[in-house]
């Protein structure tokens, strides 16, 4: 059986007010190794990317021109949006506006998605190691609290596929920026548990562990299913995750 071209969240699927999808490298029209590449910035043909985006966003029942995209820069800057488009110098978008999908692009970094079922608000977060050090996930929660009075104990979170601790090798100086239990050692190398670091930011912000779903998928371990910049370098495509209020 062929792998699904998109990944869903069991936790978010419980809520009819929100739709979510995360792309894989399957189901696209770009020549390999790009496949289902959703980025215009990796040397892919514009027409291929446009068709790939059309196919991916159709899983959410929306068109690409309806989507809000953060122009990711490994920051802790979160922006509230009420319309589609590209938003400079930020790594998290938040909205209460229906039918404005929030998307993040990844190829090893961690995508995090939040839903407030009481206030009907969502957030999409891009968390690499730099953004995690800068507490981008915590900042997104604080922004939802500040903007809409969200109660963190009611928030629901999904952490998508990313480079996992089995493969996410880091320099010693990077490891020094994280708490010791977030860094594992083996074969003279250090590896970062990026998912655990962001789950910790969520729980310390007040989210309940039962309201957090973490993908077990590692983008570096599964070349048949995921793009990985660390594995494929300049030959790597990009995936997207998107969340939308309906």
User: For 142-186, how does the pLDDT look when each residue is reduced to its tens digit (9 = 90+)?
Assistant: 999 999 999 999 999 999 999 999 999 999 999 999 999 999 999
CA-to-CA separations, 116 to 75, 148, 150, 151, 216, in angstroms, rounded: 23, 10, 7, 8, 23
> Could you tell me which CATH class the domain 6-163+194-245 is placed in?
alpha beta
Mean local confidence (pLDDT), 59-68: 96
Identify the bridge partners of residue 240 per DSSP, sorted by sequence position. 105
33, 53 in Cβ contact below 8 A?
no
**13-41, pLDDT tens digit by residue?**
999 999 999 999 999 999 999 999 999 99
Tracing tokens 């496949």 back to the chain, one arrives at 35
Q: How confident is the model at residue 1 (pLDDT cuts 50, 70, 90)?
A: very low
d(CA 100, CA 246): 9
Residue positions counted in the chain? 246
Contact by Cβ (8 Å): 37, 52: yes
Torsion sign, CA atoms 68, 60, 24, 22 = positive
Contacts of 43 (CB under 8 A, 6+ apart): 234
**Residue labelled with tokens 């910790």:** 200
Q: Is the peptide bond before 33 cis (omega within 30 degrees of 0)?
A: yes
The rounded percent of the chain whose pLDDT value lies above 90 is 97
Question: Coil, strand or helix: which one is 153?
Answer: helix
User: How many CB atoms within 10 Å of residue 184?
Assistant: 15
Sign of CA dihedral 167, 12, 90, 36: positive
Distance CA 177, CA 168 (A): 15
pTM of structure = 0.97
């Amino acid at each position: 059986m062929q792998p699904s071209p998109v990944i869903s969240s069991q936790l978010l699927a419980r809520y009819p007010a929100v739709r979510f999808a995360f792309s894989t490298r399957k189901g696209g029209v770009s020549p390999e190794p790009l496949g289902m590449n959703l980025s215009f910035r990796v040397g892919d043909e514009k027409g291929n990317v446009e068709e790939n985006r059309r196919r991916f966003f159709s899983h959410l029942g929306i068109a690409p021109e309806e989507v809000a995209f953060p122009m990711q820069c490994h920051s802790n800057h979160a922006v509230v949006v009420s319309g589609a488009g590209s938003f400079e110098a930020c790594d998290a978008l938040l909205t209460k506006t229906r039918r404005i999908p929030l998307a993040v692009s990844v190829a090893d970094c961690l995508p995090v998605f939040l839903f407030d079922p009481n206030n009907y608000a969502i957030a999409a977060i891009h968390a690499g190691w730099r953004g995690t050090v800068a507490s981008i996930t915590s900042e997104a929660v604080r922004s939802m609290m500040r903007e809409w009075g969200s109660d963190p104990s009611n928030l629901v979170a999904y952490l998508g596929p990313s480079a996992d601790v089995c493969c996410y090798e880091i320099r010693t100086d990077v490891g020094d920026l994280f708490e010791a239990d977030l860094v594992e050692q083996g074969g003279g190398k250090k590896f970062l548990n990026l998912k655990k670091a962001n789950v910790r930011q969520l729980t310390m912000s007040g989210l309940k562990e039962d309201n957090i779903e973490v993908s077990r998928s590692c983008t570096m371990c599964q070349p048949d299913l995921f793009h990985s910049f660390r594995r494929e370098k300049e030959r790597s495509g990009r995936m997207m995750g998107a969340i939308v209020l309906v």
